Amino acid sequence: MEGTRFGARWRKTATVAIAAIAALYSATTFTLWALQRELLYHPDTRENVPPSFYPMLGGVEELRLDTADGVELVAWYSPAPAGRPTVVMFHGNGSSLRGERYRLRYFMDARMGALMLAYRGYSGNPGLPTEEGLYADARAALDWLDAHRVPSETIALYGQSLGTGVATKMAFERDFGALILEAPYTSTVDVAAHRFPVIPVHWLMKDRFDSLARIAAIEEPLLVMHGDADFVIPQAQARRLYAAANEPKQAFWPSGVGHNDLFDSGGFTTARDFIERQIAAPATAAMPSPAP
């Protein structure tokens, strides 16, 4: 009899525990679903300052761009010297114009044009970021360059982290001189699945940025850069993306370099030299062997 009572108590306790775990799992899943865009996008909402605020950005213009869905955006632009490439930069999910201004300076010092776009909701821009919204923002920047007669074959698209999905989508839609991906992912769904392996993110995510589904259709010369100490986006995703891409392509896999260190740890010089070979002097370009 005592054993029967014990068994009944155990079953009741187990049932309550299972129900509590299921409720916690459901609540966690719902919270992640409801807050997914807050988790994906981390805009710097401080009021924007003009590039003239920074002495290092002498010669940089502030542009006002209108998207197809009626959002006015700010971008910073330094025109290319005659016959030189233009680098169009799409920043990461927590970046801003002011936070990435040194990248503009680096490419300007390399005698290249540079355009850095601030997405909707970022750097004081109106609106809320979404996948389709960021694509519309990128198209507005590229349309502006086209309207101002910057040849597409002289443009290198440069995506950083979240921006790699934007850059990949633009290269999928249009032809450019080169595509550079710094710390890319296969998709944001895969990044979320890596962080939350027990949550069915493949069913829940709205903004997917599926670069792997597009990379095989892209024919621009491609540079992929990703450090092996990146704990934000696994390097394995970049390697998978690179393996699926067409030639010509080049990889840079620096050892001991993290997510936010890549540009300053050989990334800029690798990207600069790649652009010089593929756009500035394409007739004599030769792709180096990819790093192991």
**Using an 8 Å Cβ cutoff, are 124 and 199 in contact?**
no
DSSP one-letter code for 210: -
DSSP one-letter code for 50: -
Whole-model pTM? 0.89
The three-class DSSP label of residue 113 is strand
Element at 116 (helix H, strand E)? strand 113-117
CB atoms within 10 A of CB 41: 21
Per-run averaged pLDDT (10 residues), the chain, 292 residues:
61 66 60 67 85 94 97 97 96 94 97 97 95 98 98 98 98 98 97 84 88 98 98 97 98 97 97 94 46 47
- pLDDT for the residue 196: 79
Q: Which of 125, 103, 129 is nearest to 46 (CA)?
A: 125
Burial of 199 (0-12, 13-18, 19+ CB in 10 A): middle
**Using an 8 Å Cβ cutoff, are 184 and 224 in contact?**
yes
> Residue 86 forms beta bridges with which residues?
113, 155
Please, which residues have CB within 8 angstroms of residue 59's CB and are 6 or more apart in sequence?
A: 78, 108
Burial of 68 (0-12, 13-18, 19+ CB in 10 A): exposed
Question: What's the Cα-to-Cα distance from 209 to each of 115, 161, 164, 189, 225, rounded to whole Å?
Answer: 22, 11, 9, 8, 18
Question: What's the Cα-to-Cα distance from 26 to each of 178, 190, 199, rounded to whole Å?
Answer: 44, 21, 10
The CATH superfamily of 44-283 is Alpha/Beta hydrolase fold, catalytic domain (3.40.50.1820)
**Using an 8 Å Cβ cutoff, are 85 and 155 in contact?**
yes
Q: Which of 181, 184, 165, 173 is nearest to 238 (CA)?
A: 184
209 sits in the region (left: phi over 0; alpha: psi -120 to 50; else beta) called left
